[in-house]
Amino acid sequence: MSNHLFDTMRAAAPDNAPFIRIDSTRTWTYDDAFALSGRIASAMDALGIRPGDRVAVQVEKSAEALILYLACLRSGAVYLPLNTAYTLAELDYFIGDAEPRLVVVAPAAREGVETIAKRHGAIVETLDADGSGSLLDLARDEPADFVDASRSADDMAAILYTSGTTGRSKGAILTHRNLLSNALTLRDYWRVTANDRLIHALPIFHTHGLFVATNVTLLAGASMFLLSKFDADEVVSVMPQATMLMGVPTFYVRLLQSPRFGKEAAASIRLFISGSAPLLAETHTEFEARTGHAILERYGMTETNMNTSNPYEGKRIAGTVGFPLPDVTVRVTDPATGLVLPAEQTGMIEIKGPNVFKGYWRMPEKTAAEFTADGFFISGDLGKIDSDGYVHIVGRGKDLVISGGYNIYPKEVESEIDQIEGVVESAVIGVPHPDFGEGVTAVVVCKPGAGLDEKTIVSALQDRLARYKQPKRIIFAEDLPRNTMGKVQKNILRQQYADLYTGT
């Protein structure tokens, strides 16, 4: 039987070669990882997990957590990674919507999550950052030679929840074909081989750290230094042993702030890649001046994986996201008419290719609305393609905020602020931030005499929203700007507070 994605990963793995390097004394070989993935898959089978069942995972980053992802592929389960910052209130929505058969969480979170899971008929097991937990206890005596479930190219491999500007988060269905085609393309486009050693400091509940960094490493038979989080000193210390770094713009800002980082520290690195948020041109220029390396910026989405990339060979132009990847078609259309626009004209970016997702989980009408009649996905991003073929992202048709590589849905934050006693209404926007790309900013209108201050509102949100969604600043205003239809004009607010964090 064929397991479309995992079979290709296993075929690419060198014999007894290192896969995950934790530190100087702990290394997982490919054989080690595949053996544990078989035992976990066997344990899940014993729990009654069957092909097509969802497995929700909210755990800290570890080798075992990555191997759990492989086990899900092997068992035919649909992997559902969840941000470790999500609160119980947020988890209630995701578990209720996806209806996973199994939820895997940190041991400390088990009691609270079990209350939610029981309402939705889910089993709860645990996995800690050190590799301990009830799931690994169950797997310990299971056989490693698991018989992989048969999975075709069109079968679901994962569901990743994404955000929009209306409604709740949507589950993007990603198939084996979506993930495999994109990872193979990136492997070849970026010239990744078994000799590469990636510094992996990204979270693994996000498409960047999971499907780009991890899948590309696996399909190249390469290895990775698995860091629990980004720390500039740690990254600089590991750099002489590595050949690649994938990161968000914040990584590169932090590296430039380190007195230890420069041309000598980066001497062994052949490729620095940035994505998940716009990279400031100043960062690109300063980085190249400091190291001699031009950061390679690319453009992707949860629904499409990666769409474009600056070239491996050739000019990597600051402020652009490069060319459409092989087998991916990117076009720019007039949002009003849908007609394709010529070069240099700004419009809606639309995407078509084997990387584009299957649709939104249990939302057929929303899925249909996001695709054109000829099969292009309407990204919601505004951009242009210049005369040389480089794609530029110039804005978003939606009000989505991208901060530190994470998507934040403004309405969700506004709804929590508006529930605070004394608040009349609020508008959440993203404005340029030197570290995070965009800073989540709330403009709040209060009732007369309410006596609210910034600290009170921030404190009220701490247990209701993941930390990355919480506003970095609260601005108080007498009213919000509106158009003739009564809609809040967030573009005016963004212009008004554009230099809030940059001080320019």
The DSSP-derived string for 110-142 is HHHHHHHHHHTT-EEEE--TTS-SHHHHHHTTS
- 394: confidence class by pLDDT, cuts 50, 70, 90: confident
Q: What is the mean pLDDT of the chain?
A: 93
Which percentage of the chain shows pLDDT scores above 90?
84
What was the pLDDT predicted at 163? 57
Q: What SS3 string covers 437-450?
A: EEEEEEEEEECCCC
Q: Which amino acid is at 389?
A: G
As a whole number of angstroms, the distance between CA 38 and CA 41 comes to 5
Is the Cβ–Cβ distance between 210 and 81 less than 8 Å? yes
Whether the pLDDT of residue 363 is over 80: the answer is yes
Mean pLDDT of 306-325: 96
Is residue 175 classed as helix, strand or coil in its secondary structure? strand
Mean pLDDT of 210-225: 98
| Residues constituting the chain | 504
For the ranges 216-230, 342-356, 407-421, which has the lowest average pLDDT?
A: 407-421
What was the pLDDT predicted at 327? 97
What was the pLDDT predicted at 408? 83
What was the pLDDT predicted at 164? 45
Q: Does 282 or 76 have the greater pLDDT score?
A: 76
What was the pLDDT predicted at 424? 87
Mean pLDDT of 203-232: 96
What was the pLDDT predicted at 165? 39
Here the tokens at position 409 are 């849905």
What was the pLDDT predicted at 168? 73
Here the tokens at position 503 are 């001080």
State the pairing for strand pair 170-175/359-360.
antiparallel
For the ranges 52-61, 174-183, 249-258, 393-402, which has the lowest average pLDDT?
A: 393-402
Whether the pLDDT of residue 396 is over 80: the answer is no
430-446 residue pLDDT tens: 999 999 999 999 999 99
Q: What is the pTM of this model?
A: 0.84
As a whole number of angstroms, the distance between CA 123 and CA 1 comes to 28
91-111 residue pLDDT tens: 999 999 999 999 999 999 999
